[in-house]
Amino acid sequence: MVGSLRRSRTRASLCNPHKTHAAEPGASGPLGGGANFPMSAEALIEKLFEALIHGDRPRARLVVQEAERTLGSTEALIEQVFWPSHEHIEKLFRDDKLTTINHHMASRLLRVLVDQAAASLPFNTSRNRTVLAFCGPSDADELGAQMAVDLLEAAGFTMRFGGGGIAGDEIMARVNDARPDVLLMFSSDAHDLPEIRSIIDRVREGGACPNLQIAVGGGVFNRADGLAEEMGADIWADTPLEMVESLVECPDQRALRAQQTVGKARKRKVA
């Protein structure tokens, strides 16, 4: 599955957190973020967006059927249509360019479509790696995280998805009890960052799970270049498929302790 949609990035660029990814030639797209999608996908995104904000379920299903025929796979549908549509909807809402009713209609209908598409994903052989995933408390956080969780499960990871609104103490207790290979946290809101930072700090300082790989994703990290690295995450990615690629290609990637700068001043002050 991963190979079918792989972007032009090498293993080194996926696994080296200090390498800056340059924008790909011609990467523009009407939805921002530098996504490099074929024109067919851009047209499908626009069609789906119009159906979503009006809550037009029959029309949205027709667009999805067209997208599957055009793009050729459910993975491509999620990566090239659902994910950019989700990001576009959330950006417009944050910028006060989308009414609350249109936002809610769009996000809830998109969630239904993502659920239905997940049932069509082909599943790879197990990779014998367990991912414990959480996200921010909003519906948008859960929707974005769900796309990554679905693709990771299809890629052969054993997924345990707790969703949002879970206290850091509970997350740490489950990490210490279940001993997953990866702790994955998604967020679209800066308000979630102190809790994510606290969890990363506690994992690093506690030493109970020395081999745990910490991955982060979601809009708040996409909008702040270098934030994930400064917080001490091992892996981060801009899109669900990039998260899959990174976790598949870089199981041994771990953050350098020296790279973590966020939170150090706070620790010195307390000391």
Indicate the helix (H) or strand (E) that contains 111: helix 100-118
How would you class 177 by CB atoms within 10 Å of its CB: exposed for 0-12, middle for 13-18, buried for 19 or more? exposed
Indicate the DSSP class of residue 253: -
User: Which range is least confidently modeled, 23-32, 153-162, 172-181?
Assistant: 23-32
Q: Would you list the domain boundaries of the chain?
A: 27-118, 130-270
The residue ranking higher by pLDDT, 222 or 71, is: 71
Q: CATH assignment of 27-118, given 3.40.1160.10, 1.10.1240.10, 1.10.3720.10, 1.10.4160.10?
A: 1.10.1240.10
Say yes or no to pLDDT of 29 above 50. Answer: no
Torsion over CA of 90, 81, 21 and 264, rounded to 10 degrees? Answer: 30
Nearest to 185 by CA among 200, 173, 207: 200
Question: What is the residue type of 248?
Answer: V
Is the separation of the CB atoms in 41 and 80 below 8 Å? yes
pLDDT at 230: 86
Reported confidence tier of residue 38, pLDDT bands at 50, 70, 90: low
pLDDT at 231: 87
Q: What is the pLDDT of residues 110-152, one digit of tens each?
A: 999 999 999 999 888 899 999 999 998 888 889 999 999 999 9
CA distances from 205 to 85, 180, 257 (A): 39, 17, 11
Q: Which fold has domain 130-270?
A: Rossmann fold (3.40.50)
The whole-model pTM stands at 0.80
Is the separation of the CB atoms in 172 and 209 below 8 Å? no
pLDDT at 172: 93
Say yes or no to pLDDT of 245 above 90. Answer: yes
Q: What is the pLDDT of residues 40-88, one digit of tens each?
A: 889 999 999 999 999 999 999 999 999 999 999 999 999 999 999 999 9
